Structure 1
């Protein structure tokens, strides 16, 4: 399978991991809906929905840039409607948009708690709900529909909560959507999975976190290639739904074991580990 003529609705696709996934799909000739907030250039975080659209088209796909705050139900519903009108449907939803604050309870303002849970957990649930009618139509047409969330495996260990309870709750909320929706949507023929990196990924957002050695990270393309394997898997095989994939494990399972090309610094063997991987 490939993604030619498939329509992907990707949240947070104006930069980083979301854009990398979009460009990998575009190489097959996919249609990509860029549902993200940034419409005007920000000196701290390069990339807008319009610059992303240019890159996606240059990679071989079609693009629909839409300014969307996924906390806003009306905005999400409007974006989904415009996507369906423009491309005739939605075959794949990628829940990539996320907010992070690695702060303990004492130093996490309620506004920041609400932001993380509003984007991560609530936003994932809302976008999935909004796209579900289109995904069901995709399934009925035999177009192999998928929902993929960029969220970690669920590990109920104190170590993953004690330093940033609010952030962990928000990310695990995304993963709980995967757990529940995989079972709920199985009867429709829609696969639902999560994907997470073993190492820290070199994105503009990561560079804003003090103390991170970007040279000891991997590039977003490792997740783009891993996501491609998920999104082209056959939904008729029930083993391809309800999984919490780790990028390098998934690539290795498909015979891709030389991962040096994904290293920011070639030859690196000691990477910054990501959270939530036991």
Structure 2
């Protein structure tokens, strides 16, 4: 089986949730993980910082580099890419996992919140594509993986929270464009989205409440799917809008009960946003 051993992987928003799960999964294979997130200091409500995850990565068998990063600041992204690229001679993968969410209408979304979502979601994908590309070109199997959904223009996904929807679809459209543009360099660009709710702070605080987590799967399903994607040959696996369960089924995974956040709710897990 292809491995991520010694691969240099940048993961944004890696201090908790899906990003943390990916960091630990890749660490099990001996990868070097750049844990890039704003969480330099403990959050009053949410567990995890870049430093606690760095410790977990090392314990799991990987190497960790903790970097305080605000993905809204393009010069911070440039500095990070240059430092990592020059230190290792390459970047093997970038996972754009950091996200901002507000499920609010145009009427109820302030310009400040609108700008935040566009910057953290779609603009960060552009910035990492722009600044990481010179170092991705030097990798044997370079990947960019963006956590965004297939573009679905049904009215139900636009009517109630189009500012957020635009920011996530922007990530997916940029991914398609970069996949075509970067194919000449052998750099794969794909998106990954969960088929179901994933038990994260976003689901608990933005979509529902603590009870909602019972209807979700654990972040580990996204981590396992990402591992499959990042070990595919980059020259022929690009420009895809991927769903976690479909990726794992293609990899011969058949038991999805292991991913249920609450096994008692296994048959009641809810489908995620943007999926019919």
TM-score by length of 2: 0.96
Distance in 2 between residues matched to 1:269 and 1:125, nearest whole Å = 38
Moved more, 105-114 or 208-217: 208-217
Q: 2:162 aligns with which of 152, 162, 165?
A: 165
The answer to whether the 8 Å contact 2:190/2:241 transfers is yes
- Counterpart position of 2:77: 76
- Counterpart position of 1:24: 25
Distance in 2 between residues matched to 1:6 and 1:204, nearest whole Å = 28
Distance in 2 between residues matched to 1:260 and 1:118, nearest whole Å = 36
The answer to whether the 8 Å contact 1:153/1:276 transfers is yes
Name the SS of the counterpart of 2:267 in structure 1.
coil
Distance in 1 between residues matched to 2:72 and 2:239, nearest whole Å = 25
Structure 1, residues 78-109: CA drift from partner, whole Å, max 9, x if none? 11122124433211010111100000111100
Give the total of aligned pairs. 272
Moved more, 199-208 or 3-12: 199-208
- Counterpart position of 1:87: 88
- Counterpart position of 2:268: 270
Structure 1, residues 51-88: CA drift from partner, whole Å, max 9, x if none? 11111111111111111111111111111122124433
The answer to whether the 8 Å contact 2:89/2:138 transfers is no
- Counterpart position of 1:128: 129
Distance in 2 between residues matched to 1:74 and 1:241, nearest whole Å = 27
Alignment of 1:202 onto 2:203: no
The answer to whether the 8 Å contact 1:192/1:241 transfers is yes
Unaligned regions of 5+ residues in structure 1, if any? none
Structure 1, residues 135-167: CA drift from partner, whole Å, max 9, x if none? 0111xxxx2111100000011211111110100
Distance in 2 between residues matched to 1:86 and 1:52, nearest whole Å = 21
Name the SS of the counterpart of 1:230 in structure 2.
helix
The answer to whether the 8 Å contact 2:54/2:66 transfers is yes
Distance in 2 between residues matched to 1:181 and 1:91, nearest whole Å = 16
Alignment of 1:58 onto 2:55: no
Alignment of 1:242 onto 2:243: no
